Amino acid sequence: MFIRKLTTTDAFLAVDLADVSGHGVARLAPKVLQGGARDLARSVTYALAILERRETGISAGINSTPEGRAVALTAFAGEVAGWEAGYRLAAAKGVEAGELGAVEAPADAVLVAAGAVAAAIAAFPTAETAVVDGSGGQALTEALVDRGLSVLEVEDPFTAPADLLFAGVRVGAIDHRVADQLGVRVVVPTGPLPLTAKAIAHCQRNDILALPDFVTTCGPLVGDADRTRALVSEVVADVVGHGDGPIIGACERAEAFLTGWLGELPFGRPMAT
Residue range 226-255: mean pLDDT, rounded: 97
Fold of 109-251: Rossmann fold (3.40.50)
DSSP category for residue 72: H
Nearest 5°: phi and psi at 50?
-60, -35
The answer, yes or no, to whether residue 126 has pLDDT greater than 90, is yes
Strand 56-63 to 11-15 pairing: antiparallel
pTM for this one? 0.95
Q: Boundaries of CATH 3.40.50.720 in the chain?
A: 109-251
Rounded Cα distance, 190 and 115, in Å: 9
Q: What pLDDT sits at residue 61?
A: 97
Q: What is the CATH number of domain 2-105?
A: 3.40.50.10860
Q: What pLDDT sits at residue 110?
A: 95
Residue range 111-128: mean pLDDT, rounded: 97
Residue range 173-202: mean pLDDT, rounded: 96
Rounded Cα distance, 17 and 266, in Å: 8
Strand 2-5 to 150-151 pairing: unpaired
The answer, yes or no, to whether residue 257 has pLDDT greater than 90, is yes
Q: Boundaries of CATH 3.40.50.10860 in the chain?
A: 2-105
